[in-house]
C-alpha cells in the first residue's frame, strides 16, 4: 500500500510537470516496463525506444491518470499498446502461435540442445516458444503479479478472456513440454 501511495504521489507531481518525479517513477518502474516490452518485441534497441515512449506518454498524460488502476497497470497498458503498434509496423513477428514457435525452433543451437536435458531449462525454452500473446499473459500473471482485472485493463480484453487465454497458454506450454519429452500429465 505504501508503494502505491508513493507512486500516486509521483504521478501527481508529474502531472504538475515535476521532472524529478518523472525520474523517480522511471527508477521504480523502468526495469519492469523494459522487460515486459523486451519479451514482446525481442529486440533491446526497440524495447529501449518503446520504454522511453511509455514514460513520455506518462509525462504528457499524467494529468488524466485517475488512479483507478495501479500505476504499474497503467504503465504496462501503455507499454502493451506501444508494443502491439511496433510489432504491426515491423511485421517481423506476427501474433500467430505457429509462426512464433517456428522462429524459436529456428534458433536451436548446441547450447539449446544441451539445455534440453534440464527440465527447468526445457520449461523456460517452452515459455519462449509460446506466441507473443500467450507469453504476455503468462508474464503478466506470473512475473508482474497482475490480477485478472489488471491483465484485462493492460491487454484490453474482457476478464473472461484473460482467464481462458491464461488457461490455453498453460495448455499450449504442456503440449510443448510433452513434445520436448516432459509429460506433466496435464491437461
SS3 (DSSP) at 118 = coil
Of 169, 147, 131, which is closest to residue 72 (Cα–Cα)?
147
Nearer to other proteins, 36 or 74 (CB): 36
For residue 143, count other CB atoms closer than 10 A to its CB: 12
**Closer Cβ to other proteins, 81 or 144, answer by number:** 144
Q: Which stretches of the chain bind other proteins, using CB under 8 A?
A: 19, 22-23, 26-27, 30-31, 34-35, 38-39, 44, 48, 51-52, 55-56, 59-60, 97, 120, 123-124, 127-128, 138-139, 141-143, 145-148, 160-161, 163-168, 170, 172-173, 184, 186-187
Q: How many CB atoms lie within 10 A of CB 103?
A: 15
CB of 93 to other proteins, least distance (A): 17
As measured in angstroms, the least distance from the Cβ of 46 to other proteins is 12
Pick 26 or 65: Cβ nearer other proteins = 26
CB of 116 to other proteins, least distance (A): 15
> Would you state the cell numbers that stand for residue 72, as one nine-digit string?
504499474
Q: Calculate the alpha carbon distances from 86 to 30, 52, 72, 130 in Å.
A: 19, 13, 21, 19
Closest separation between CB of residue 19 and other proteins, Å? 6
Vertex 12 angle, CA 159 and 154, to 5°: 20
Amino acid at each position: 500500500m505504501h508503494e502505491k501511495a508513493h507512486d500516486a504521489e509521483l504521478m501527481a507531481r508529474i502531472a504538475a510537470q515535476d521532472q524529478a518525479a518523472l525520474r523517480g517513477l522511471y527508477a521504480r518502474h523502468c526495469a519492469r516496463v523494459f522487460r515486459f516490452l523486451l519479451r514482446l518485441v525481442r529486440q533491446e534497441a526497440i524495447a529501449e525506444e518503446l520504454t522511453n515512449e511509455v514514460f513520455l506518454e506518462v509525462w504528457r498524460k499524467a494529468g488524466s491518470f485517475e488512479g483507478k488502476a495501479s500505476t504499474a497497470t497503467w504503465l504496462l497498458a501503455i507499454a502493451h499498446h506501444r508494443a502491439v503498434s511496433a510489432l504491426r509496423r515491423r511485421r517481423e513477428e506476427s501474433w500467430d502461435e505457429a509462426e512464433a514457435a517456428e522462429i524459436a525452433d529456428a534458433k536451436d543451437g548446441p547450447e539449446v540442445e544441451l539445455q534440453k536435458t534440464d527440465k527447468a531449462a526445457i520449461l523456460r525454452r517452452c515459455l519462449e516458444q509460446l506466441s507473443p500473446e500467450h507469453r504476455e499473459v503468462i508474464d503478466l500473471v506470473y512475473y508482474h503479479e497482475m490480477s485478472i482485472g489488471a491483465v484485462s485493463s493492460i491487454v484490453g480484453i474482457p476478464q473472461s478472456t484473460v482467464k481462458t487465454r491464461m488457461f490455453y497458454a498453460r495448455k499450449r506450454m504442456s503440449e510443448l513440454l510433452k513434445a520436448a519429452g516432459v509429460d506433466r500429465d496435464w491437461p
